Amino acid sequence: MSSLLLSTWTCLPQSTSGGGQSDAWVTLSPLNIARQETGATRIAAKVYVVGGLVSGGGVQATNTVEAYDIAGDDWNFVAPLPAARDHMAVAAVGGKLYVLGGYAADFAAKNTVYIYDSAMNSWSNGPSLPQARGACWAAAVGDRIYVFGGKDASNVTRRTTYILDTQTLLWSSGADMPTAREHLVAVALDGFIYVIGGRNGSSNNLNERYDPSSNVWATMTPMPTARAAPGAAAFAGRIHVAGGETPQLFDVHEVYDAGTDTWSTALPMPVPRHGIAAVTLDDGVLFPGGGLIQGISPASHVDKFVPAAPPPIPALSTSAAAILGISFVLAGAWVFRKRNRLGVTNAD
């Protein structure tokens, strides 16, 4: 009987690649202001893009904030930052957006923390970072925000981990990153935080995983292409890392599977950029703005990467359904006869 069942299952229609969509980059409505070296995060049905470097004479930072209506594909300004910032860390917890450190078009690290209440469309001051940081990155797990690396007020690249408890608004320190770096990215996935890429002089391809529950770092499989300032976000259990710079502007798009600790290559960015804060959407990953050349050349371009959906499982044909039904009937009869032969009753 077991061989009959096996042959029945293996003769059923199998899922194929036919009918599944292909991976795609989709161009969306542009930002109102071209910007790079921004921070961005999602709160409910909106994505907020904060500050950044903008076009103009010399190096200019902005305090403007744009909110993207995901359903309407539309950008609108909301309350501006209390002060212009670029190269800052941004994360969201409980409907509030936190802007941590950064520069003010002067490449001098700040220790300021600003908190945006999305329900009130208003800003307040938060507890200052333990030390000034610029070109750092942040990720949230639970009620805590983790700020990694960056440069200090003396322009020294650090490997610190600072932790903000958003309930108490108190700071603490976590275990230092194994490697000092700035212009890095950090992505939370399944309770871990993966800190990827960045530079300390030259770019690196590091992939170091932090476990907030144990305060322990682990070295994971490195990213295939070393680069700094890419856009990175998690989608469907994988981390997408696209763009970046140093020693060149990259269109490279590589995907990390945390379950297997392996990397693969995906469709390259159609408009290569760096200095992007990527954000997870329901159907893919959003990449708003960024720099069009190494150095400063802000873009208003916005696109998203939409991974291919798995193909639908074909419906069983009438004949296949009949075979499956017959197999269950035969299996039940075989079990019943065997139980009777052994003298087994339901009460046993």
The verdict on 292 and 322 lying in the same domain is no
The verdict on 224 and 145 lying in the same domain is yes
> Is 266:254 a contact under the CB 8 Å cutoff?
yes
Q: How confident is the model at residue 312 (pLDDT cuts 50, 70, 90)?
A: low
Note whether residue 279 is domain-resident.
yes
Domain holding 320, by residue range, is: 315-348
Note whether residue 96 is domain-resident.
yes
* Residue 324 pLDDT exceeds 50: no
The verdict on 197 and 227 lying in the same domain is yes
The verdict on 46 and 183 lying in the same domain is yes
The verdict on 205 and 118 lying in the same domain is yes
Q: Among the residues of the chain, which ranges form H helices?
A: 2-10, 318-341
Query: Which residue matches tokens 């001051």?
Result: 125
* Global confidence as pTM: 0.85
Note whether residue 12 is domain-resident.
no
Note whether residue 7 is domain-resident.
no
Residues 232, 160: Cα–Cα separation, whole Å: 20
The verdict on 96 and 143 lying in the same domain is yes
Q: 262: burial class by Cβ within 10 Å (0-12, 13-18, 19+)?
A: exposed
The verdict on 46 and 78 lying in the same domain is yes
The domain that contains 97 carries what CATH number? Answer: 2.120.10.80
Measured at the alpha carbon of residue 302, what is the angle toward residues 285 and 24, in degrees to the nearest 5?
50
DSSP assignments along 180-232, one per residue: --BS-EEEEETTEEEEE--EESEE---EEEEETTTTEEEE-PPPSS--BS-EE
The verdict on 170 and 216 lying in the same domain is yes
The verdict on 263 and 329 lying in the same domain is no
Instruction: Give the chain's mean pLDDT.
Output: 88
Taking the C-alpha atoms of 37, 152, 101 and 162 in order, what is their torsion angle to the nearest 10 degrees?
120
Note whether residue 20 is domain-resident.
no
The first and second tokens of residue 24, run together, are: 């795609």
Note whether residue 1 is domain-resident.
no
Number of domains into which the chain is organized: 2
Q: How confident is the model at residue 337 (pLDDT cuts 50, 70, 90)?
A: low
More confident site: 278 or 316: 278
Encode pLDDT of 246-256 as tens digits.
Answer: 999 999 999 99
Please choose, from the candidates 68, 63, 92, 65, the residue with its C-alpha nearest in 3D space to the C-alpha of residue 78.
Answer: 65
What average pLDDT score do residues 20-47 get? Answer: 95
The verdict on 51 and 153 lying in the same domain is yes
Note whether residue 5 is domain-resident.
no
The verdict on 301 and 319 lying in the same domain is no
The verdict on 57 and 130 lying in the same domain is yes
Note whether residue 11 is domain-resident.
no
pLDDT of residue 309: 78
